[in-house]
Amino acid sequence: MERIKKWRLKLTTVSVIVTNFHQEKYLKECLESIENQTYPNYNVLVVDDNEEGQSSLAHSRNNLIWTFDIGLSACRMKGVERTSSKYLLFLDADDKLHPQFLEKTVKVLEDNPKYSVCFTDTQHFDAANTCWEQPEYNFYSLLQNNFMCSCSLIKRNDFLACGGFDLDNFNYWEDYENWINMGSKGYYGKHLPEKLFYYRMHKESGTQSKRNEFLSPYYKAYIISKHFELYPREWESQVKQILSQYPLDFMKWKPKEQEQYLKEKGFII
């Protein structure tokens, strides 16, 4: 059963919503990167989604919500419900921010009011030390491939006007579908070409990477099916054919359930 503290965070410019699922060993480092921000007007909300429904975390100075293995999309939306800031930032517990992330991204959106999202370049760390330099925003290019990182500053009202994250999607490319959904309604992004988001590359993430690689055509087909009006009509039959190979509610399944299904079908991941 979900357990939520009965409060609402005070109004600030930015709410940083940190989601945790078995990443406690990295959370302190993540929170320290937020505390080291040069921009002062923010608050932090940790949404802890471990199966037991109770956090093992002891960060009393941080606001905390406990949920019960409900998935990333639902966790983030629970966080949004408990905040009232102008901007939202979704950060996973194993990742980090550059000290000037908030200061610089807030300035971009304040100086460019026609944009709804500010995304930066991504610096990989831990198992890899590479940089993902994102291109300038182009909605038609976005329809082909995701070049926006999940940790991007978003105008809260614009995000909610588009409906937020897809709650039928447990945690598979949910950020990509959100960017497409927002762009389809005229809410566009602005690129800040600086490495301000630090994404942890895990040494132990082999099974997850293989699953994502194997199922990427299915995940992309699911997203396209939600936005058929944005894609060539001739794609529709192929997309429906890909989706037909899996249960109707496959996107609601947990990762272990999807992996078990693939193994039962004889696929080796």
pLDDT tens across 53-66, in order?
A: 444 554 444 588 88
Mean pLDDT over each residue of the chain, to the nearest integer:
89
Residue identified by tokens 């009011």 is: 113
Give the Cα separation of 267 and 236 in Å (integer): 26
Q: Band the pLDDT of 1: cuts 50, 70, 90.
A: very low
Q: Is the pLDDT of residue 148 over 80?
A: yes
Residues forming beta bridges with residue 258, ordered by sequence position: none
Among 61-70, 159-168, 197-206, the range of highest mean pLDDT = 159-168
pLDDT in the model for residue 9: 43
pLDDT in the model for residue 171: 93
pLDDT (mean) for 230-250: 96
pLDDT in the model for residue 64: 81
Give the Cα separation of 220 and 232 in Å (integer): 14
Q: How far is CA 202 from CA 179, 180, 199, 235, 265, in A?
A: 25, 27, 10, 35, 27
Residues forming beta bridges with residue 153, ordered by sequence position: 118
Q: Is the pLDDT of residue 162 over 90?
A: yes
CATH superfamily of 14-201: Spore Coat Polysaccharide Biosynthesis Protein SpsA; Chain A (3.90.550.10)
Least confident of 15-19, 50-54, 183-187: 50-54
- Of 202 and 268, the one with more pLDDT: 202
Q: Is the pLDDT of residue 6 over 50?
A: no
Give the Cα separation of 171 and 59 in Å (integer): 25
pLDDT in the model for residue 69: 86
Give the Cα separation of 241 and 221 in Å (integer): 9
- 57: alpha, beta or left, given left = phi > 0 and alpha = psi -120 to 50? beta
CB count in 10 Å sphere of residue 198: 20
pLDDT (mean) for 79-101: 95
Angle between helices 206-225 and 235-243 (to 10 degrees): 130
The domain spans of the chain are 14-201, 206-264
Collapse the DSSP code of 6 into the 3-class scheme (helix H, G, I; strand E, B; otherwise coil) and give the result. Answer: coil
- Amino acid present at 251: M
Least confident of 11-20, 132-141, 222-231: 11-20
Task: Give percent of the chain with pLDDT exceeding 90.
Answer: 75
